[in-house]
Amino acid sequence: MTMKTLLMLLALLCVSSFATGQDALPSWNDRASKHAIVDFVERVTTEGSADYVAPGARIATFDNDGCLWAEQPVYFQLIFAVDRIKAMAPDNPGWMTTEPYKSVLAGDMESLAKQGHKAIGEIIAATHAGMTTDEFDSVVRDWLTTARHPSTGKRYTDMVYKPMLELLDFLRGNGFQTFIVSGGGIDFLRVFAEEVYGIPPHQVVGSSMKTGYEVRNGMPTLVKQVELNFIDDKEGKPVGIHQHIGRRPVFAAGNSDGDFQMLEYVTAGDGPRFGLLVHHTDDEREWAYDRDSHVGQLNRGLDEAEQLGWVVVDMAQDWATIFP
Amino acid sequence: MTMKTLLMLLALLCVSSFATGQDALPSWNDRASKHAIVDFVERVTTEGSADYVAPGARIATFDNDGCLWAEQPVYFQLIFAVDRIKAMAPDNPGWMTTEPYKSVLAGDMESLAKQGHKAIGEIIAATHAGMTTDEFDSVVRDWLTTARHPSTGKRYTDMVYKPMLELLDFLRGNGFQTFIVSGGGIDFLRVFAEEVYGIPPHQVVGSSMKTGYEVRNGMPTLVKQVELNFIDDKEGKPVGIHQHIGRRPVFAAGNSDGDFQMLEYVTAGDGPRFGLLVHHTDDEREWAYDRDSHVGQLNRGLDEAEQLGWVVVDMAQDWATIFP
């Protein structure tokens, strides 16, 4: 082999490894949604381009339930709360005869649902307050390790969407900072967001109860209180983004009308913007639901996405793989 | 020159450039406080050491007023509010005869102070609410460019402490993530924190009014409201840290009893911890005040620092330079 042949071979190797390296989204089929993402990232990262965005301003926000992990048959955090009610019942004998606990303990989710938001709020308060943040953290961590999804039998943290994990990595690899902006509980999300999504605690925005600071037996302690602090949903999402991130993201992904205002706020900014809606269309590999769903309802988003220039990802068509 | 001599010379050059490179804190005199900082950073960054802290957990929090920039004769944000009242007075003729505006417009700060927290709250509300976050941002930006400190004649952003800027850089250079945790307004701080301190908006924690989201003439808009959202002072600081950062920092710096709970919370954690109090002792180059001061009062901190293992920085003795 001459030196020239060797160099050519090396050059070819480099090119091919570059081409392989470029497909940072292998779980995305070669369709319009993938092209739109890759094109957007290329435009905002090309120095000198009119659409160039400085690294510090490359902020991307992601909803969690139904966008990064599944949300059927109900939000996983509600399953956690129900499991906690069952685990705590022996210490709370009155619950056997008191609503909404009675329905939860009887496994009658239909009756719980009929009791409305107030009942669910009570269940959340009973399972998410009155303990230290460290205690809550460890309870959630244990649950995530042991609990299994009722129909798939998987761990909840294995029910994350592989294409979205790739998207998070792809954005970070291109200088983006990725945030979760979820209606779910901020303290709940932070237990697994770093390990599962590569998103550190300070880049998680979510709903919360108030927290109190006290020195207990000489130990400084943070205690989760019953009083609601913030609901990070709908109009709350742009507010939560302002409060925690302090600047308008250039990229936002969601899947329900709870994300409408986040995408609206993000994509109304000047310069290049990207709005993405995950549309649950795959009844075989995941679930199919939108306009009439009791979780992740998507109505306005489907009606207005095209006009607003948002990319609607068709899970069945656009994703080669769903779960890792 | 033999090859051996050359290598020895190169080795010496490397050593000396390493030694120079090591003094990342040139504005700090060669005294105990500097040694404690350098020693701490060395311990937590030495892999295999019992005190090693993984990069993600290297979180450092800094108070702002009196810790990163000066706070005399009063908090600079209050001077901003007073300047705004004056600028807004022509559009609010009633203020000439209504307290607390009347005192502010007459330049009678003593009378304003006598009217207490409620009066100051009203001044803050009048100058910090009822506008969009973008409008507020631009008002603060203009003020920082044009306003000058009453006694030094400097821009407020030039009244930052050079030794603390070096400390921020030194920590970041050693894998720390630096945050501001201030009683000041989060939206006010974020206007200059990135440029002046290298701290991006999402790493600023502060006090806030509530924010509302609305679509005004088709434009998604965030509006600052009159209602108080959060006071990031005293017990509020550990709560703000939990809310925004979501894990316990290993390093905290402050200068007043408003920082006591932050330092208490941070330094009570397991493993290596660092608590730092800036003590204003330099009446010539800055100001000297502590136990009886109306701003930055430091009583409990001075009483308990030694027992709690906190480092008290004596500005007059420990800092070779104060302002850049």
Please tell me which of the candidates B211, B235, B247 has its beta carbon nearest to residue A239. B211
Q: Which of A61, A138, A202, A223 to mutate to test the interface with B (most CBs of B within 10 A)?
A: A202
The encoded tokens of residue A294 equal: 């009791």
What's the Cα-to-Cα distance from B50 to each of A282, B44, B58, B274, B287, rounded to whole Å? 50, 8, 15, 16, 40
Average pLDDT over residues B274-297: 97
Judged by a CB distance cut-off of 8 A, whether residue A202 touches chain B is yes
CATH code for the structural domain at A25-72+154-318: 3.40.50.1000
Q: Which residues of chain A have a CB within 8 Å of the CB of B212?
A: 235, 239
Closest of A23, A62, A40 to residue A309, by C-alpha: A40
Helix (H, G, I), strand (E, B) or coil at A311: strand
* Per-residue confidence band for A4, with pLDDT thresholds at 50, 70 and 90: low
Indicate yes or no: CB of B212 within 8 angstroms of CB of A202: no
Please tell me which of the candidates B202, B204, B268 has its beta carbon nearest to residue A220. B268
The encoded tokens of residue B1 equal: 């020159």
Q: What is the pLDDT of residue B210?
A: 97
Please tell me which of the candidates B56, B133, B213 has its beta carbon nearest to residue A235. B213
Q: Is the per-residue pLDDT at B261 higher than 90?
A: yes
**What is the per-residue pLDDT across A115-169, written as a single tens digit (0 to 9) for each?**
988 898 899 899 999 999 999 999 999 999 999 999 999 999 999 999 999 999 9
Q: For B67, which DSSP code?
A: T
Question: Residues of B numbered 153-182 whose beta carbons fall under 8 angstroms of chain A's beta carbons: which are they?
Answer: 177, 179
Q: What is the pLDDT of residue A15?
A: 41
The encoded tokens of residue B74 equal: 């009063």
Q: What is the pLDDT of residue B117?
A: 85
Judged by a CB distance cut-off of 8 A, whether residue A222 touches chain B is yes
Q: Interhelix angle for B133-146 vs B76-88, to 10°?
A: 100
Average pLDDT over residues B59-69: 98
User: Do the Cβ atoms of A265 and A236 come closer than 8 Å?
Assistant: no
Closest of A307, A236, A269, A308 to residue A59, by C-alpha: A269
Average pLDDT over residues A90-111: 93
Average pLDDT over residues A77-105: 95
Judged by a CB distance cut-off of 8 A, whether residue A19 touches chain B is no
**What is the per-residue pLDDT across A245-274, written as a single tens digit (0 to 9) for each?**
999 999 999 999 999 999 999 999 999 999
Indicate yes or no: CB of B246 within 8 angstroms of CB of A56: no
Closest of B136, B165, B287, B300 to residue B224, by C-alpha: B136
**What is the per-residue pLDDT across B48-62, written as a single tens digit (0 to 9) for each?**
999 999 999 999 999
Minimum Cα–Cα distance from B179: chain A residue: A202
Q: Dmax over Cα atoms in chain B, in whole Å? A: 87
CA distance B143 to chain A (A): 20
Q: For B206, which DSSP code?
A: E
Any residues with CB less than 8 A from the CB of B208 and at least 6 apart, and which? A243, B185, B186, B187, B229, B230, B232
Average pLDDT over residues A52-77: 97
Judged by a CB distance cut-off of 8 A, whether residue A188 touches chain B is no
CA distance A166 to chain B (A): 21
User: β-strands A288-289, B204-216: how paired?
Assistant: unpaired
What's the CA gap between A15 and B47, in Å, rounded?
37
Closest of B72, B108, B107 to residue B293, by C-alpha: B72
Phi, psi torsion values for A8, nearest 5 degrees:
-65, -40
Closest of B211, B225, B213, B223 to residue B126, by C-alpha: B225
Average pLDDT over residues A53-57: 96
**What is the per-residue pLDDT across B204-216, written as a single tens digit (0 to 9) for each?**
999 999 999 999 9
Judged by a CB distance cut-off of 8 A, whether residue B203 touches chain A is yes
Judged by a CB distance cut-off of 8 A, whether residue B247 touches chain A is yes
Any residues with CB less than 8 A from the CB of B200 and at least 6 apart, and which? A56, A246, B193, B194
DSSP one-letter string for A224-263: EEEEEEE--STTHHHHHHHHHT-S--SEEEESSGGGHHHH
What's the CA gap between A65 and B11, in Å, rounded?
57
Q: Which residues of chain B have a CB within 8 Å of the CB of A238?
A: 213, 220, 222
Angle, alpha carbons A186-B67-B229 (nearest 5°): 35
Q: Dihedral through CA B199, CA B201, CA B202, CA B203, nearest 10?
A: 30
Per the omega criterion (within 30 degrees of 0), is the bond before B272 cis?
Answer: no
Q: Is the per-residue pLDDT at B15 higher than 50?
A: no
Mean pLDDT of chain B: 93
- Looking up tokens 């998103």 gives A199
Q: Is the per-residue pLDDT at B8 higher than 70?
A: no
Minimum Cα–Cα distance from B191: chain A residue: A246
CATH code for the structural domain at B26-74+155-318: 3.40.50.1000
Please tell me which of the candidates A194, A213, A242 has its beta carbon nearest to residue B222. A242
Q: Give the ipTM of the model, two decimals please.
A: 0.92
Give the whole-number percent of chain B exceeding pLDDT 70: 93
Of the two residues B21 and B257, the one the predictor is more confident about is: B257
Beta bridge mates, B224: B211
Q: What is the pLDDT of residue A14?
A: 43
Q: What is the pLDDT of residue A7?
A: 54
User: Do the Cβ atoms of B179 and B203 come closer than 8 Å?
Assistant: yes
What's the CA gap between B47 and B49, in Å, rounded?
5
CA distance B191 to chain A (A): 10
Residue A143's identity, in one-letter code, is: W
What's the CA gap between A220 and A214, in Å, rounded?
6
Helix (H, G, I), strand (E, B) or coil at B250: coil
Say if residue A152 is exposed, middle or buried (CB neighbours under 10 Å; 0-12, 13-18, 19+).
Answer: middle
Angle, alpha carbons A134-A136-A142 (nearest 5°): 105
Helix (H, G, I), strand (E, B) or coil at A222: strand
Indicate yes or no: CB of A186 within 8 angstroms of CB of B246: yes
Phi, psi torsion values for B107, nearest 5 degrees:
70, 20
Q: Dmax over Cα atoms in chain A, in whole Å? A: 86
H helix runs in A129-282, sequence order: 133-146, 162-173, 186-197, 236-244, 260-267
Q: Interhelix angle for A186-197 vs A133-146, to 10°?
A: 50
Q: Is the per-residue pLDDT at B121 higher than 90?
A: no
Q: Interhelix angle for B116-128 vs B76-88, to 10°?
A: 60
Helix (H, G, I), strand (E, B) or coil at B132: strand
CA B156 to mean position of chain CA atoms? 13
Q: Which of B242, B259, B264, B266 to mutate to test the interface with A (most CBs of A within 10 A)?
A: B242
Mean pLDDT of chain A: 93
Indicate yes or no: CB of B215 within 8 angstroms of CB of A243: no
Q: Which of B182, B195, B243, B270 to mutate to test the interface with A (most CBs of A within 10 A)?
A: B243
* Per-residue confidence band for B20, with pLDDT thresholds at 50, 70 and 90: very low
